[in-house]
Amino acid sequence: MEFGGRYLIHAPRQTVWAALNNTAVLKACIPGAQRIEWTGPDSLEIEIKVSLGVMRPTFKGDLMLSKIVPARSYTLSGKGRGALLGMAQASADITLTDRDRGTELYFAATGGASGALMSLGRAIIGNSAQRVIDGFFEGFGRAMGAPVTVLQV
């Protein structure tokens, strides 16, 4: 599955970068986030409760940052464990560029799942993932105090 988007964040690129790496901001932005904390210079642990149709599983996962170009880009890879539901994994490339007195953030991700999660069907999982992403960027703007405009992909 592939998902992502482009967003104009009305804040300087360095401010956006700092917010993307602030666990308090991230927890406030991720719908269902129970816990998120740095475990190393480029790794985080996360616990999130997600809505997959009629199911609301809690995933625990590990996130790794790679290909880091400070205040410009990185790749975020993660694996989530949903107990009896199986595993979910995703990788996202995030790029920041200066634009229109703000920062354009480009987000392109791929992901998949195994076990009972796949029996729910790609449409439910894909729609849930996109809702989480859209909710994240809406919350991200609120947490930063900066308006966010969705741009056409």
- Find the CATH number of the domain harbouring 98: 3.30.530.20
**pLDDT at residue number 118:** 45
Q: pTM for the complete prediction? A: 0.81
Q: Which residues pair with 20 in a beta bridge?
A: none
pLDDT higher at 41 or 131: 41
- Strongest mean pLDDT among 2-16, 46-60, 80-94, 124-138: 2-16
pLDDT exceeds 70 at position 102 = yes
Work out the mean pLDDT of the chain and round it to a whole number: 83
3-class SS of residue 142: helix
Count CA within 13 A, CB hemisphere, residue 41.
3
Interacting residues of 22 by C-beta distance below 8 A, sequence separation 6+ = none
- Cα separation, 27 vs 64, in Å, equals 16
pLDDT exceeds 90 at position 89 = no
Domain count across the chain: 1
Tallying the residues shown for the chain, one arrives at 153
Query: Which residue segment(s) compose the domain that 65 sits in?
Result: 2-151
